[in-house]
Amino acid sequence: MPRTITALTVRDIRTPTSRTLAGSDAVHTDPDYSAVYVVLKTDARDGLEGHGITFTLGRGNEVVVAAVRALQHLVIGSTLESLTADMAEFSKRLTFESQLRWIGPEKGVLHLATAAIVNAVWDLWAKVEGKPVWKMVADMTPEQLVACIDFRYLSDAITPAEALEVLTRKAPARDAREAEMRSDGYPAYITSAGWMGYPDEQVRALCYEAMEAGFTRFKIKVGRDSNENVRRTALVRSIIGDSAWLMMDANQAWDVGEAIEFLEPLKRFKPLWIEEPTSPDDVLGHATIRRAVKPVGVATGEHAANRVIFKQLMQAGAIDFCQFDNCRLGGLSEALAVLLMAAKFGVPVCPHAGGIGLCEYAQHVSLIDYICISGSIDNRAIEFADHLHEHFLDPVVVRGGRYFPPVKAGFSIEMRPASLDAFEYPAGSEWRK
């Protein structure tokens, strides 16, 4: 029996993280980690729902809610089976809507909203299959996986045939990698020890705490005060030791030339990467910076608008690490396209996470990457921030600095009803305080 999607609800959920400066960086000084929360309901008797979120920093969450409402007519009334039979076509339906695409296309508000809906369909699909999303994808044939992807605008970088070849090459050892993930987990790095607004004492305490928990990979925020950058980096390097991974994140604070200058005094601390050194739209700028700051790697992606930007970042040799965000892209369907390009170009993917629900999403992406696509965890780690997981029904399991694969059916993104009620903006109890 096909199930028809009969309704879509969308809620504006915000957490007041700015009160403690959790999540703060050089540019986003006071984020309230927020979610646009989408639920798809169907006429099936099992009552299964598709849940999907997209992540924002607070103000503007209501604009993305409006965009979800603008898109909802494209999913309500469809059967789940008609969508999952051709996920590529479903992506096109959302991104090529003849009037709506003017306010994108495939970027910003409209694409954030698209992601919430597309991922809600993936969640529902996986629940119906009774598997976590990563496992459902890992059980697809290479042909089935390729059929989920809209290759529009990508054919000069990767064709469906090339994608199929990437997947087929990695297919034989899928089972072994899946077993390895279940026993050993996937490497994580921690961001939440080094938020910009945290005083030294707090950074120090959090680093020690993370080390005790088994973390060996740390990221800190840097910005437009060079002395401060050096001081904070020296502090963290002195705590974590020379063999730990240390990454730096400028969150778009610099022009191209400035990035190269600000990096110079930081090189001696041997960072693995500098993240978002400049505008996320600046493919050529990243390429220039990368040439200049070697051996420091260049990373970007949490603000890269879509697969066409990633295509160019790879074609131009502009990045050492690809950090797409499953919600910034148009959901998992587009993320699969970027994973395949990254595998072809040999660029490791370390997905953006942190924000509310993003760790829950990102683990699925990296598991799919390892098991089906790249087959490698070299130079890869999933971002981790140690907060807000208590709001999820199936929160991430991170032990010894590694993510362990979720086992419940779906995309791990379903929030606790009590959390949704408390943090709904502006009427929830946490906002009426």
CB of 33 or CB of 134, closer to a copy of itself: 33
Strands 382-384 and 186-190: parallel
Structure tokens given for 102: 């003017």
Region near a copy of itself per CB under 8 A, out of 114-122, 306-314, 335-343, 388-396: 306-314
Query: Which residues, 6+ apart, have CB-to-CB distance to 98 below 8 Å?
Result: none
Binding mask 260-299 for a copy of itself (x = CB under 8 A): ------------------xxxxxxxx--x-----------
Yes or no: say if 340 and 153 are a contact pair by the CB < 8 Å rule: no
Among 1, 19, 99, 172, binds a copy of itself (CB under 8 A): 99
CB of 147 within 8 A of CB of 87?
Answer: yes
CA angle (314 as vertex; 106, 373 as ends), nearest 5: 85
Which CB sits closer to a copy of itself, 155 or 429?
Answer: 155
Of 43, 59, 224, 228, the one binding a copy of itself by CB under 8 A = 59
d(C-alpha 127, C-alpha 45), whole Å:
14
Nearer to a copy of itself, 124 or 293 (CB): 293
Overall residue count recorded for the chain in this entry: 433
Q: Which is nearer to a copy of itself, 98 or 243 (CB)?
A: 98
315 touches a copy of itself by CB under 8 A: yes
Q: Is 221 a catalytic residue?
A: yes
Contact 236, 220 (CB under 8 A): yes
Q: Which is nearer to a copy of itself, 157 or 272 (CB)?
A: 157
How far is residue 127 from each of residues 48, 80, 137, 145, 284, measured CA to CA in Å? 7, 12, 13, 18, 42
- Smallest separation (angstroms) from a copy of itself to the CB of 348: 22
Q: 41, 131, 221, 391: which is the annotated catalytic residue?
A: 221
Beta carbon nearer to a copy of itself, 70 or 140: 70
DSSP per-residue codes, 104-171: -SSSHHHHHHHHHHHHHHHHHHHHHHTSBHHHHHHTS-HHHHHTT---TTTTTT--HHHHHHHHHHHS
Q: Identify whether 352 is a catalytic site residue.
A: yes
- Is 426 a residue that touches a copy of itself (CB under 8 A)? no
CB of 4 to a copy of itself, least distance (A): 23
Distances (CA, A) of 369 to 30, 167, 171, 377: 33, 10, 12, 9
Of 26-34, 142-150, 240-248, 269-277, which segment contacts a copy of itself by CB under 8 A? 26-34
233-262 residues near a copy of itself, rule: CB under 8 A: 252, 255-258
Residue type for position 321? F
Bridge partner list, 410 = 132
Residues 327-356 that bind a copy of itself (CB under 8 A): none
Residues acting as catalytic residues: 221, 352
| Binding residues for a copy of itself (CB under 8 A) | 27-32, 56-60, 62-64, 66-67, 70, 96-112, 152-156, 252, 255-258, 278-285, 288, 303, 305-306, 308-309, 311-312, 315-316
